[in-house]
Amino acid sequence: MDAAGATDTANETTHGITHENDVVLGPEAWAEALTKLYGPVSASAVQEKPFRAMLRARELGAVRVSAVHCPAAELRDAGPCDGRAARYHLALVLVGELALEQAGRTAWARSGGLVLLDTGRQFRMRLVAPWNTVVTAHLSRSLPDLAPEVLGRLTARELSGREQLAAMAAGFLARLARDTTPYRPCDEVRLGAMVTELVRMLTDHGLGDEAQAPAEHALVMLRRIQRYVLHHLGDSRLTPDRVAAAHHISTRYLHRLFQRQGLTVAAWIKAQRLERCRRDLTDPRLRHLPVHVIAARWGFDRAADFSRAFRVAYGVTPTGLRAGACEPTAGVRSLTTNSARNANDEHASPQHTHR
């Protein structure tokens, strides 16, 4: 099939991907279009006949998903990323063949194959077949729970599309590529988060035990998460799932970060809330506030639950502590003696809500 004939077919559907006349003529224009997705790249055609390709992309929060249909061509990095384009790109080959050279390795992906590209490093990508259809998830600047040196072990390696998890990711990306539904902005963000989580699962599976981030990187992430939690303690809807989603990591990895310090997420959040309630109850300036109001401003919706948890933690009821009937006999477990202590603990402030 010649270029014109392939274009006529692709303008209708190409293996389920609808192209809406987003036609690019010539390798230079092709490189310019792809630079918006990958950062600076150069492109060259394998054959001398007129170059004609199709490109469509949609934004899903911090993630973009693109579908391309093009003849045999070659892409190379053409300079460092400027921070506006994504760094990590998961490419799914629907039609044709792709060869990615990076980090001294070459990955070959055919129909159903998945490969991970890091545009923060030099690379060469060849689309080998006369016509190729590739769907790519362009992720945010980083996968926050994996250091670049860890992800580097997966770049230019095929993530087999025949395995169940990879097949699931491939199917989801293929459906996204052909989907033209006008989603609400909040739903687009959720879909983007689903793409990121699928990629995270693939990298976990591909790395096995190596998916553990270096200790220093994990500790930096933990401190960032703790600062976020301290800033949102007053929100009773704060849960491990919401904390993980806010940092674009899986809940499983969030629990793992805390477990490395001998903690659980929910218990740590509860301890921080109780400690702030204790401070407020012993603050003479706040004696005019009822106990249940202080509890609510730090995320406790049910007064009875708060009173019971407070007594278990401190050996005294909130009312008894305020009245000065006795002193606390036991401290709440916190990170004040832990290597992951709350560096900005004193800066935490409740988020007041109207009740």
The DSSP string of 69-136 is EEEEEEEEE-S---SSS-SEEEEEEEES-EEEEETTEEEEE-TT-EEEEETTS--EEEEEEEEEEEEE
- Strands, E assignment, the chain: 23-25, 41-45, 52-60, 63-77, 88-95, 98-102, 105-109, 114-118, 124-138, 158-159
- Banded model confidence at residue 245, pLDDT cuts 50, 70, 90: confident
Whether the predicted model's global pTM rises above the 0.95 cut = no
- Banded model confidence at residue 147, pLDDT cuts 50, 70, 90: low
Q: What is the pLDDT of residues 174-198, one digit of tens each?
A: 998 888 888 888 888 888 888 888 8
pLDDT at 296 over 90: yes
Q: Which two tokens mark 267?
A: 């218990």
Buried b / exposed e along 54-89 (16+ C-beta atoms within 10 A): bbbbbebbbbbbbbbbbbbbbbbbeeebeeebbbbb
pLDDT at 322 over 60: yes
Closest CA to 151 of 105, 206, 109: 206
- Banded model confidence at residue 313, pLDDT cuts 50, 70, 90: confident
Mean model confidence pLDDT for the chain:
78
- The pLDDT of residue 332: 41
* Better-predicted residue by pLDDT, 186 or 123: 123
pLDDT at 84 over 60: yes
Nearby residues of 186 by Cβ (< 8 Å), 6 or more positions away: none
pLDDT at 46 over 80: yes
- The pLDDT of residue 261: 78
* Better-predicted residue by pLDDT, 287 or 7: 287
Token pair 């994996």 in the structure block, residue: 146
**Rounded to an integer, what is the distance from CA 56 to the centroid of its chain?**
23
- The pLDDT of residue 160: 61
* Better-predicted residue by pLDDT, 207 or 303: 303
Triad 108, 109, 110: Cα angle to 5° = 125
- The pLDDT of residue 2: 35
Nearby residues of 320 by Cβ (< 8 Å), 6 or more positions away: 326
Triad 43, 49, 50: Cα angle to 5° = 70
Q: Which two tokens mark 181?
A: 């539904």
pLDDT at 293 over 60: yes
Q: What is the pLDDT of residues 87-101, one digit of tens each?
A: 889 999 999 999 999
Rounded Cα distance between 209 and 78, Å, is: 34
* Better-predicted residue by pLDDT, 233 or 80: 233
Beta bridge partners of 354: none
Q: Which two tokens mark 12?
A: 């209708």
Mean pLDDT of 119-134: 93
- The pLDDT of residue 246: 85
251: left (phi over 0), alpha (psi -120 to 50) or beta: alpha
